C-alpha cells in the first residue's frame, strides 16, 4: 500500500542519520520539520524514527545503501514518491574503510559510499527540489594537502587521477602511508569539487559544503577502542588538532543552521564554526570541478547501462 502523509511545511532528508553527527543533525532538524532518515540499517532507522516521534517530532525512514547504486535509485524514487516539499538535503553519511575494500560491483568502498552514491542520490533528487532548497555535502578538510593537522598525521590530501581510477581504488602516487586514507581524502575532494560545480550549474538551489571539525567520539574517530581513546582523549586536545575539535552536537548545529538558512548563499564551503573556509587549490579550480562532474556522470551512466 502506498504510504500517505500529511504535507509538512518543511522536510529535511538526512543520510547517515543512524549514528554520529548525522543522528544529532536529524534530531535537531526534527525541531524544524519532518525528517526523512536515510540509512542502510532498517532496525537502526526505526529506533531513531521512534525516538524522534516520542519527542513529538515527525520522521520517516528510507533504507538506502549508498555503496549500492540500485539501492540509491530505489531510495531516491521512494523519497520522490512521498511528494513532500523538501527544504533541505544533508549528504552526511560517510566512511573511511581501513583497510580498503570493495563494493559488490567491485568499486572502492569508501569512494562509492562517500562520493558516487551521494552524487547519484543528489542527482536523482535535484529535479524534484523546490527553488531555494538547500543541498549540503559533509566533506572533510583532509582533502587539502596543505591542511596542517592532516599533514601532521601523514595525510597527503586528495589523490585524484580520474573518477574511473578512483572507483578502481587507484590514487596518485605519493599518498598517505595509512591504507584507506587516500580513498577518503579523494572522495571528499570530489564531493567538495562537485558541490561547487553543482552550485554554479543550479543557481535556483543553494548547494554548499561543510567541514564538521574533528569529532573524535563518532564512528569515524578511530578504528579500534585503544586508538579511539588515545585520539579522543589525548591527541585532539593538543595543537594543531585542538583548534578544530568539535562535538557531534556542535557540528550538527552548524549543519542545521546551513540547512535552514533562507539566504541565497550557495557554493560556500563552511568550517566547523559555520564560517566560510577555503579548501584545496584543486577543489576550488572550476576546471577540476567540471572535470569531476562530467566524469562522474559518464561513469554513472555507463554503470547503469
Ligand atoms: N568524525 C569526524 O571527525 C569527521 C571529520 C570530518 C568529516 N567527517 C564526516 O562527517 C560525516 C559523518 O561522520 P561521523 O563521524 O558522524 O561518522 P559515523 O558516526 O561513523 O556515522 C556515519 C553514518 O554513515 C552511515 N553509513 C555508512 N555507510 C553507509 C552506507 N553504505 N549507506 C548508507 N549509510 C551509510 C552510517 O550508518 P550505520 O549507522 O549503519 O553505520 C552512519 O549513520 C561523514 O561524512 C564523515 O566523513 C567526520
pLDDT tens, position by position, 78-133? 999 999 999 999 999 999 998 889 999 999 999 999 999 999 999 999 999 999 99
Helices (H), the chain: 20-29, 42-54, 69-82, 109-111, 117-125, 148-152, 163-168, 181-201, 225-233, 248-259, 286-304
For residues 212 and 21, is the Cβ–Cβ distance under 8 A? yes
Helices (H), 202-278: 225-233, 248-259
pLDDT for 6 beyond 80: no
Lowest mean pLDDT among 35-39, 99-103, 239-243, 284-288: 239-243
pLDDT band, residue 2 (cuts 50/70/90): very low
CA 279/CA 270 separation, integer angstroms: 10
Do the bridges between strand 59-63 and strand 86-91 make them parallel or antiparallel, or are there none, so unpaired? unpaired
Instruction: Name, in order, each residue with C-beta under 8 angstroms of 94's C-beta and a sequence gap of 6 or more.
Output: 16, 113, 114, 138, 140, 187, 188, 220
Whether residue 149 is contained in a domain is answered as yes
Please confirm whether the linkage preceding 99 is cis (ω < 30° from 0).
yes
Whether residue 6 is contained in a domain is answered as no
What is the Å distance from ligand 1's center to 47 Cα?
Answer: 17
pLDDT of residue 152: 84
- Whether the CB of 44 sits within 6 Å of ligand 1: yes
Whether residue 5 is contained in a domain is answered as no
Whether residue 296 is contained in a domain is answered as yes
pTM value? 0.95
- CA torsion sign for 172, 174, 179, 182 is negative
Whether residue 135 is contained in a domain is answered as yes
- 13, 14, 17, 19, best to mutate for ligand 1 pocket (most atoms within 8 Å of CB): 19
Print the domain residue range for 200.
Answer: 11-304
- Whether the CB of 39 sits within 6 Å of ligand 1: yes
User: The CATH number of the domain where 100 resides is what?
Assistant: 3.40.50.720
- Closest-CA residue to 151 (of 159, 160, 142): 142
Q: Please give the share of the chain, as a percent, with pLDDT higher than 70.
A: 93
pLDDT for 3 beyond 70: no
pLDDT band, residue 7 (cuts 50/70/90): very low
pLDDT for 221 beyond 60: no
Whether residue 1 is contained in a domain is answered as no
pLDDT of residue 283: 98
Whether residue 290 is contained in a domain is answered as yes
pLDDT for 9 beyond 70: yes
Output the residue whose Cα is nearest ligand 1's atom 43.
16
Do the bridges between strand 134-138 and strand 11-15 make them parallel or antiparallel, or are there none, so unpaired? unpaired
Question: How much is the average pLDDT of 200-208?
Answer: 98
Output the residue whose Cα is nearest ligand 1's atom 23.
16
pLDDT for 177 beyond 60: yes
Average pLDDT, the chain: 93
Count: domains in the chain: 1
- Whether the CB of 110 sits within 6 Å of ligand 1: no
- Closest-CA residue to 194 (of 279, 254, 305, 103): 279
pLDDT of residue 238: 76
CA 60/CA 79 separation, integer angstroms: 10
Convert the pLDDT of each residue in 266-303 to its tens digit: 999 999 999 999 999 999 999 999 999 999 999 999 99
pLDDT band, residue 219 (cuts 50/70/90): confident
CA 305/CA 301 separation, integer angstroms: 6
pLDDT of residue 243: 85
Amino acid at each position: 500500500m502506498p504510504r500517505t502523509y500529511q504535507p509538512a511545511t518543511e522536510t529535511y532528508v538526512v543520510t547517515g542519520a543512524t549514528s554520529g553527527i548525522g543522528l544529532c543533525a536529524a534530531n535537531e532538524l526534527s525541531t524544524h520539520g519532518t525528517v526523512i532518515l536515510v540509512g542502510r540499517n532498517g532496525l537502526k532507522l526505526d529506533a531513531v524514527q521512534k525516538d524522534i516521534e516520542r519527542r513529538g517530532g515527525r520522521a520517516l525512514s528510507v533504507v538506502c545503501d549508498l555503496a549500492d547504486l540500485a539501492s540509491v535509485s530505489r531510495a531516491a524514487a521512494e523519497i520522490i514518491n512521498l511528494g513532500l516539499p523538501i527544504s533541505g538535503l544533508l549528504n552526511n553519511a560517510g566512511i573511511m574503510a581501513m583497510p580498503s575494500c570493495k563494493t559488490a560491483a567491485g568499486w572502492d568502498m569508501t569512494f562509492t559510499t562517500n562520493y558516487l552514491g551521494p552524487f547519484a542520490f543528489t542527482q536523482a533528487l535535484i529535479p524534484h527540489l523546490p527553488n531555494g532548497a538547500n543541498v549540503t555535502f559533509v566533506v572533510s578538510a583532509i582533502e587539502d594537502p596543505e591542511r596542517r593537522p592532516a599533514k601532521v598525521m601523514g595525510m597527503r590530501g586528495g589523490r585524484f587521477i580520474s573518477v574511473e581510477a578512483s572507483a578502481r581504488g587507484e590514487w596518485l602516487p605519493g599518498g598517505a602511508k595509512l591504507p584507506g586514507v587516500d580513498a577518503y581524502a579523494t572522495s571528499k575532494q570530489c564531493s567538495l569539487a562537485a558541490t561547487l560545480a553543482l552550485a554554479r550549474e543550479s543557481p535556483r538551489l543553494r548547494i554548499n559544503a561543510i567541514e564538521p571539525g574533528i569529532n573524535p567520539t563518532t564512528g569515524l574517530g578511530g578504528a579500534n577502542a585503544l586508538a579511539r581513546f588515545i585520539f579522543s582523549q589525548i591527541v585532539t586536545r593538543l595543537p594543531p588538532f585542538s583548534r578544530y575539535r568539535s562535538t557531534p552536537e556542535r557540528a550538527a548545529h552548524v549543519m542545521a543552521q546551513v540547512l535552514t538558512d533562507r539566504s541565497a548563499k550557495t557554493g560556500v564551503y563552511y568550517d566547523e564554526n559555520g564560517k566560510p573556509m577555503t579548501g584545496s587549490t584543486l577543489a576550488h579550480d572550476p576546471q577540476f570541478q567540471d572535470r569531476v562532474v562530467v566524469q562522474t556522470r559518464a561513469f554513472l551512466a555507463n554503470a547503469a547501462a
